[in-house]
Amino acid sequence: MPMPPPKATTESPRDRQVFHEMGQLVRALEEQGPQRPEELALLVGAPYWEGGRFQRALTFAVADGLVVRDADDRLHAV
């Protein structure tokens, strides 16, 4: 009996690329200090990323507690 075809994607909602992007965000904040989201996007080259990838990586980084926002909407590495 033949094997069934693989699922349409074998990647989870958090694919390997998003983990790499989250790491870039954290490293940039560690090296450059607190940043506003727009500044951080420029630091990591997000304008050249695929659409929506920066916001997705940032959302996961905040949800995982790797990055926090302060009252002034500045991002800090934890």
pLDDT of residue 13: 60
In which element (H, E) is residue 69 found?
A: strand 67-69
CATH class label, 16-77: mainly alpha
pTM across the whole model: 0.80
DSSP-derived secondary structure for 6-65: PPS--S-SS-HHHHHHHHHHHHHHHHH--B-HHHHHHHHTGGGSPTTHHHHHHHHHHHTT
pLDDT of residue 16: 85
pLDDT of residue 5: 66
pLDDT of residue 4: 72
Chunk the chain into consecutive blocks of 10 residues (it has 78) and report each block's average pLDDT, rounded to whole numbers.
63 77 97 97 95 95 96 95
Q: Is the dihedral of CA 63, 32, 44, 10 positive or negative?
A: negative
Domain boundaries of the chain, sorted by first residue: 16-77
